[in-house]
Structure 1
């Protein structure tokens, strides 16, 4: 049936009475908005992608609902309709609309922010849909589907493009004087219906003469404050500056503009606005306090000094956003000889130093894995719609081969063009998974294990992948911390691991190709590619045997049978022999990490400290740290003993285990050296200096 109706005008649509009756039954049965769970999101399927409209409504041919064809995107055309029912709110807002000819249909609007009036379009409002997509929703069930939020417009009742017949019944609203619109806005504000308040204040402004600056300033101030509460920082800043009259009371306008700039993390502009506010009113309440707060952000941008412990104390799953600025001065973005753009060192950076610390451009408070991706997608769409200035930072990010018009982000008919499929393509390739804090997440028995949010860090997104990178990332709330894991020279490109790497080379490369469209040519991948394929296969087979045995003894630190230890030791020796010396001389041996870690823990459980030290060194070697080549354990981070090494919490654990065993064996100097190395490594893992007791090694 579906194929037969595609491209045709349906002849079996529901009648007006039937459509309204069915719709009303859904409205009555929908959950109470106040008690319902978080509103679901319609996440796009890229194989169903279609471009957002980039044309003005005035450039489109207006057609009646009766000409809509099934599964067609009506390019070059538009419709103007009036809502004739209250909305049903699910993943979007579904309502019933009619046109000037009396035709009726369903309209579904998705991806609009809760701060938009169109996320809950009231009955009787007049809408325009640009280049509508008419969707077959089921047997004899059709609807106009709006995925791109910029494809639907809420029209002012006085807009001359509205057909005369649709104006009937709204004459009273059209004739309402500015004072009544202002009063209606105030009433909506008191009821915390902020989108309606903004609409009413906008209508009031349309009726106030341009030369009545005082009246306009009063309404602009109200709309400014409301937009600020909605997080519409672009609009709030514009209104605040437009509300100035030249009087000393303008300090309020500058103060509001400063708060909007702060919300956009534009701290230099915020400082300038606050200084103007202080000039107008040096004793204005809260201005000096906000000025000091702004100066603290500017110091962070310049110096990169943070109170990471206080940050951790302040973040919760309900409020992940840290009040801090990004420090990026150690780095610069340049064209990479590898591919695309990359991040390069602007100066020499020593191992352990902060490379950069970046505040997320977009990150929702959502740590449930099943919802995190959808929450980030929804935030991206809605924030770029609510704050068009974000387009200049988000849209240049890599979006795969998704076709662009070049007009995404531009303002058309008063709203920014937002292509939801482009944003989903960008999200897929640029988002990071983040725990509430890496420090807490690396603790044994962490309750946050597996609880990851998703965020976009624009600067960090430019860093290319390397399986043996020279930086390591960690997180505190929405702050991305990058530290050098070995010395980096000025002008050198810096790398990160996109994901924890797999020991199987083929599986590793397939993951990179599928998710990011590249084949990794890092020293580890290019080196392992030279290894005999039969040996690759055999190594994976032996590792599988070790893991199977390990699963029988999941806590090797507890006493395990000697026979199990001997078996794993034998298999580990076989694995060592399968690594060609000429290939793996300076490379990690990934398939040996699990067996040697398991053996270390098993011997620690037996309190065999000589074996613990021996296997700790093997673990370090298998991570790529050549400890036998250096005179001092600290040299592994600054010298040439770790050019292709991997830093993980397991590395830190091995160093700490070695330190504890050396101490029991009376080798105090070595114990202190390994302890210092463990503390240094733990800083890489967590992002800042921490007491090693947190990793809970007895």
Structure 2
């Protein structure tokens, strides 16, 4: 899926000075049609051809129309003005060409006065006829935007917001007489037959259109029920679950054949993740058709989802085993009852624990609201944006959860409050608002966090998804939760004990060791400065000390050649004594630059890299005592409480299994903590301290559960 950016907002010389004016010259109908036919010959309509997505540029944002086509003043195409949004106006035009399908659908259109222009419709889903309006159809465009298209005398009506254009019924009285064709078919039976033909040909959008016309021309209620049934089934195929559910319930007649209506309603509710409603519909279907094996199967699926929702019962190992590049959307529900959304003292709203949680407990499990199966990072953002727009158009019930999320401050206008409401039979969808919400709330997700921790995992394979419950979580550099992924399932686990009513936090991105750099990133990407315990504590350290630490860390990285011995399961190379002494000296110098009054109970993130390097260097030389020394320093620098010295009694009394739940622990949990515990277990084993080695292994496995989301043998990170 290619990404097509909107035209740069800087006006070219061809349009400068003409904003708000008529075009200097409008191409004739013959010129437009001729040029358009040339494009049609070049287009690739292969089903395997990637269709580009025009992602909006937020600096060029303009609001979607919230008016009905019947509440605007209809204007002729000749009144269109360059680079103008014609507020309070509308156009009604007939499509007089086949569409050119690219990032949008471009057609030649004509109004009732014989004026001709070019219409480009973007951001329509593949299930919509408007994604490629057939020749002869009549459309209404609300508050049209007329823009320069980059070439001499090349202008077009640009429809970015999918709700700004309406496909009008052939017999709609708003259509001017000269554009009216009259109904192509006369009777409900003819329209129904046409719908059946389109369905057989797998032209599902046309089938829905025909069934809609059949319902409009139906002579009595009795003839409507089978048409509603057909349209419900077709909408199910298209993923239009809201409409499918409404159609299924509208098909009910009170007879025994209603089992199919309840079955379709149950399927639609299941598609919307409304499992309780789905269960109830399937129960009614079974009462009318107890021998329906398909109904029983769907009923049992609903029960399984309800158990997940109510009790958080998951077979994570089986879920992981079922994953594949072709199967990323797992058939599982969300478990959200341990948290609630409420106002936060940090940033707007946040998530809060509704009960006491222990380190390692599931905080919540959430199925993605929206996540395309696209793991190419360059395409993943465009794919998610396109899915968000399409699903908001096709399933308006998503609006409440999606459109309530924070979109940032990039759009230059306030929300109208009408986003998501139904106007002219379709929900108002503002693509710039949607893009703002995507950029501020989406997560990057590997196919499986478990697989992503293994040394052989290919780098850079990430999808983009929207989990609306998780999106309410605020950021902390030392959060009390950690997220992981299995396909489109997000698992959040507590990394330390959480009290009832306490706000739960997550990392938005991996935390930089330098407080100034990471807060520049937060400011740029999300518009906030982090006020977590670590950031606030580190700000007490003078700027001059920070600069000294940065200088020494740069020297450390240079001395280490920016590589960790034994990283990702590679065998340790023999590191010369001189190199170890140099890094050891620099690490001690860096440690001395961390003021005790500031860092006594805080992580020291700048020290993690050199201590990890020294663990690897000494491990390669089988110097187990030094591995223990620097392994403990790694844990300490992540903020965990560990023995301070080499006292054998202190080490013997130390239980690493308790480091995650220590009261008042200000720590940062990552995969590197698990690796450090594995290295310590290995070194203690070699030193004959079997019990401590065993405890470190158990602590590593416990920590690995937080990282991957479920119980796994942490030894796989080295295989």
Structure 1 residue 577, shift from structure 2 partner: 0.6
After superposition, the Cα gap between the structure-2 partners of 1:19 and 1:35, relative to the gap in structure 1 and judged at 3 Å, is same
Paired with 1:193 and 1:550, the residues of 2 have a C-alpha distance of 61
Per the alignment, do residues 264 and 525 of structure 1 end up closer, same or farther by CA in structure 2, a change over 3 Å counting?
same
Aligned pairs (5 A) from 1:179-194: 179-194=189-204
* 2:665 is equivalent to residue 650 of structure 1: no
Distance 2:430 2:45 in 1: 31
Q: Where do 1:372-391 residues align within 5 Å?
A: 372-391=380-399
How big is the shift at 1:172? 5.7
Deviations 1:120-163 (Å, cap 9, x if unpaired)? 11111111100000010122110000000000000000000001
Q: Measure the CA separation in 1 of the matches of 2:259 and 2:444.
A: 42
1:239 counterpart = 2:247? yes
DSSP 3-state at the match of 2:109: strand
Correspondences of 1:548-627 after superposition (within 5 Å) = 548-551=558-561, 555-556=565-566, 557-627=572-642
Corresponding position of 2:42:
29
Separation in 1, partners of 2:21, 2:56: 25
- Shift, 1:445, TM fit: 2.6
Residue by residue, what CA displacement relative to the aligned partner does 1:518-553 show, whole Å, maximum 9, x if unpaired? 111111101100112111111112212222233375
Asked if 2 retains the 8 angstrom alpha-carbon contact of 1:553 and 1:560, the reply is no
Equivalences for 1:106-505 in 2 at 5 Å? Answer: 106-138=118-150, 139-167=152-180, 170-171=181-182, 173=184, 175-209=185-219, 211-213=220-222, 215-401=223-409, 402=411, 403-447=414-458, 449-505=459-515
* Pick aligned residue for 1:634 from 653, 657, 661: 657
| CA–CA distance in structure 1, aligned partners of residues 327 and 603 of structure 2 | 39
Tell me the distance in 2 between the aligned counterparts of 1:198 and 1:315: 34
How far apart, in 2, do the equivalents of 1:137 and 1:146 lie?
13
Q: Aligned partners of 2:240 and 2:637: how far apart in 1?
A: 52
Q: Which residue of 1 aligns with 2:8?
A: none
Distance between the aligned counterparts of 2:616 and 2:375, measured in 1? 32
Which whole-Å deviations, capped at 9, do the CAs of 1:3-58 have from their partners, x for residues lacking one? 1221111131211111111111111101132241x211000001100000000111
What is the CA–CA distance in structure 2 between the aligned matches of 1:563 and 1:296, rounded to whole Å?
61
SS at match of 1:356: strand
Residue pair 2:473, 2:504 contacting (<8 A) in 1 also: yes
- Root-mean-square deviation (CA, aligned residues, Å) is 1.3
* TM-score normalised per structure 2: 0.94
Q: Distance in 2 between matches of 1:635 and 1:353?
A: 14
Taking a change above 3 Å as real, the CA distance of residues 316 and 17 of structure 1, as seen in their structure-2 partners, is same
- Gapped runs of 5+ residues in structure 1? none
User: How big is each residue's C-alpha offset from its partner over 1:186-223, in whole Å with a ceiling of 9 and x where there is no partner?
Assistant: 111111110011011111111102x331x211111111
CA displacement, residues 601-631 of structure 1 (integer Å, 9 cap, x when unaligned): 1111111111111111010011111211773
Q: How many residues align?
A: 689
Per mean C-alpha deviation after superposition, the further-off stretch among 148-157 and 456-465 is: 456-465
Name 2:548's counterpart in structure 1: 538
Partner residue of 2:650?
Answer: none
Deviation at 1:554, TM superposition (A): 5.4
For the residue of structure 2 that corresponds to 1:494, the secondary structure is: strand
Normalised to the residue count of structure 1, the TM-score between the two structures is 0.97
Q: SS where residue 16 of structure 2 aligns?
A: helix
Say which of 87, 92, 98 aligns to 1:80: 92
Checking the alignment, whether the CA contact within 8 Å between 1:600 and 1:612 is kept in structure 2 is yes
Distance across 1 between alignment mates of 2:431 and 2:339:
31
| Contact 1:317 1:366 (8 Å CA) reproduced | no
Give the structure 1 partner of residue 4 of structure 2.
Answer: none
Tell me how far apart the structure 1 counterparts of residues 323 and 78 of structure 2 sit (CA, whole Å). Answer: 54
Asked if 1:659 corresponds to 2:681, the answer is yes
- Give the Cα separation in 1 of the matches to 2:523 and 2:457: 32
Runs of 4+ in structure 1 deviating by more than 3 angstroms, as ranges, are: 552-556
